[in-house]
């Protein structure tokens, strides 16, 4: 009897939030590491990931992490030429990769390749780290243990400071050539009390002067809440202030420097920022899997939602080269136990990822949260 090649067998039902959750927890092995657009290694935000599109949704899936090497998921090309995700050798879904953005081939007027200034995240998000250096990255004692902001700089894959002019040039090209629909501007935290708000404001203003592109700025709470209105007036449409972890013990262990800013200050900053940017336009990023319990994460999310803040909970990814590279990724069952009730809470609070003007919550590629919100899974 002729045996059917396992990768040619019928595909199982469409991907669901649960499949996304499993992929993001376990990662995936790549038969061809060069498939699709270049993956990111190091840097702020999603790293050691690759963007993949399943069932019309583009998600970031770990590919270079230690757990990914042991993952039950593999991506392989089938004899027909299609690319499929296999689980334990059995096909689950077709997958495609966003193509390499055209703007990556351009160089700024001052001679810097555009891909060193900003990168494509997910399918249509332009992302940049305006200041690639961080006051919290100076010593291992203060470093956020999950962060790789210095790695891409040390490897020459980015530049230390992106000027407003450079960002404006890249944003204009990325809209024209690759159809990006929003932009994320994060920053390493500089020594000043504004925590980077001034540089984000001037960067947003320059981009807005060049192209009509919704922008999310991301920073720590500044010393003075007046910065929120200044950033908004400069052109920022939404704001992210990222808690990362929620309980004092986990914060002190995982991010000893940033933990010096108490949770209470984050909450007061959120209360000041929401009236400026609008309900649901201020968000935070919480990394599940670092030790916070499900109950602690959901309790914090409830407090955030009550303040009109969108709590974007993502699975922690152990990035190679960081102190947490051997820390386990969260189990899919844990992620589901957080994201499924959280999606109900978000809906009950009247917030929606799709209503966010710009930023991580809108992109949603690093978490299955928005898929649970839409009830797919």
**Is 366 near ligand SF4 (CB under 6 A)?**
yes
In the complex with ligand SF4, the residue whose CB is nearer, 46 or 311, is 46
Rounded CA gap, 44 and 345, in Å? 28
Residue 360 as a binder of ligand SF4 (CB under 6 A): the answer is yes
Interface region with ligand SF4, contact rule CB under 6 A, candidates 118-126, 164-172, 207-215, 320-328: 118-126
Tokens of 369: 């949260």
Site for ligand SF4 (CB under 6 A): how many residues? 12
156: buried, middle or exposed (CB in 10 Å: 19+, 13-18, 0-12)?
Answer: exposed
Parallel/antiparallel/unpaired status of strands 119-121 and 125-129 = antiparallel
Q: Which of 15, 27, 42, 46 binds ligand SF4 (CB under 6 A)?
A: 46
Asked if 358 touches ligand SF4 (CB under 6 A), the answer is no
The one-character DSSP state at 190 is P
How far from 202 is each of 14, 129, 162, 234, 265, CA to CA, in Å? 44, 14, 11, 7, 24
Q: How far is the CB of 362 from ligand SF4 (least distance, A)?
A: 8
Interface segment toward ligand SF4; rule CB under 6 A; list 70-78, 201-209, 323-331, 359-367 = 359-367
Q: Which of 64, 87, 116, 121 binds ligand SF4 (CB under 6 A)?
A: 121
| 160-199 positions binding ligand SF4, by CB under 6 A | 184
Q: Which is nearer to ligand SF4, 232 or 362 (CB)?
A: 362
Place of tokens 């077709």: 94
Among 210, 246, 255, 363, the residue binding ligand SF4 under the rule CB under 6 A is 363
Residue count (the chain): 377
User: How many whole angstroms separate alpha carbon 74 and alpha carbon 54?
Assistant: 14
Q: Does 369 bind ligand SF4 (CB under 6 A)?
A: no
**H or E element: which one contains 202?**
helix 197-210
- Applying CB under 6 A, the residues found at the interface with ligand SF4 are 45-46, 60, 121-122, 125, 127, 184, 360, 363, 365-366
């Amino acid at each position: 009897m002729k045996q059917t090649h396992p990768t040619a067998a019928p595909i199982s039902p469409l991907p669901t939030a649960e499949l996304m959750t499993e992929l993001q927890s376990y990662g995936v092995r790549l038969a061809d590491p060069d498939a699709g657009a270049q993956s990111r290694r190091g840097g702020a935000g999603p790293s050691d990931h690759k963007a993949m599109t399943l069932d019309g949704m583009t998600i970031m899936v770990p590919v270079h992490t230690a757990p990914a090497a042991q993952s039950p998921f593999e991506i392989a090309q089938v004899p027909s030429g299609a690319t499929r995700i296999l689980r334990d050798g059995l096909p689950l879904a077709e997958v495609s990769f966003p193509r390499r953005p055209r703007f990556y081939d351009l160089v700024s007027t001052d001679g810097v390749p555009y891909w060193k200034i900003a990168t494509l995240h997910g399918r249509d998000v332009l992302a940049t780290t305006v200041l690639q250096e961080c006051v919290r990255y100076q010593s291992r004692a203060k470093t956020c243990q999950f962060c790789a902001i210095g790695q891409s700089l040390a490897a020459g894959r980015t530049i230390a400071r992106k000027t407003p002019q450079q960002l404006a040039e890249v944003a204009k090209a990325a809209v024209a050539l690759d159809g990006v629909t929003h932009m994320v501007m994060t920053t390493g935290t500089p020594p000043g009390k504004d925590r980077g708000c001034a540089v984000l404001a001037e960067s947003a203003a320059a981009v807005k002067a060049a192209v009509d592109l919704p922008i999310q700025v991301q920073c720590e709470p500044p010393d003075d809440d007046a910065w929120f209105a200044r950033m908004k007036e400069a052109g920022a449409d939404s704001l992210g202030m990222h808690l990362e972890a929620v309980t004092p013990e986990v914060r002190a262990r995982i991010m000893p420097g940033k933990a010096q800013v108490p949770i209470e200050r984050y909450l007061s900053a959120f209360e000041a920022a929401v009236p400026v940017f609008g309900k649901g336009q201020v968000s935070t990023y919480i990394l599940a899997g670092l030790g916070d319990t499900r109950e602690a994460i959901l309790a914090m999310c409830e407090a955030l939602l009550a303040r009109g803040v969108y709590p974007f909970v993502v699975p922690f990814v152990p990035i190679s080269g960081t102190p947490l590279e051997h820390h386990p990724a969260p189990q899919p069952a844990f992620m589901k136990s957080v994201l499924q009730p959280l999606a109900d809470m978000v809906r009950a609070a009247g917030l929606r990822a799709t209503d966010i003007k710009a930023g991580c919550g809108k992109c949603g590629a690093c978490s299955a949260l928005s898929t649970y919100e839409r009830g797919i899974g």
